[in-house]
Amino acid sequence: MKHFTFSLMLLQQRVDERLRLERQKGASNALVLTLLRQRKKRLAERLKRSLGTLTPVES
């Protein structure tokens, strides 16, 4: 596994943990939750590309 891919996995775990902690707060910040969800989505897409599970788009 490439170091870059492993780093993406670690970053994704950190974002998941931050999302979990933010949701547990009594008064969650909606903006922070939205930004974390967007970051999680972008990381998942980049990780899929890095792992080669997406087929390339043909022009």
pLDDT in tens, 21-51: 999 998 889 999 999 999 999 999 999 998 8
Classify residue 56: in a domain, yes or no. Answer: no
54 lies in a domain? no
Domain span at residue 41?
Answer: 3-46
Domain contains 19 = yes
Angstrom CA distances, 1 to 18, 27, 35, 43, stand at: 25, 39, 28, 17
User: 18 lies in a domain?
Assistant: yes
58 assigned to some structural domain: no
Domain count, the chain: 1
Record the pTM.
0.75
21/57 Cα distance (integer angstroms) = 36
Whether 59 is in a domain gets the answer: no
Tell me the mean pLDDT in the region 4-26. Answer: 94
User: Tokens at residue 24, please?
Assistant: 């547990």
pLDDT in the model for residue 6: 92
Distance, CA of 9 to chain centre: 8
pLDDT at 54: 53
pLDDT for the residue 45: 94
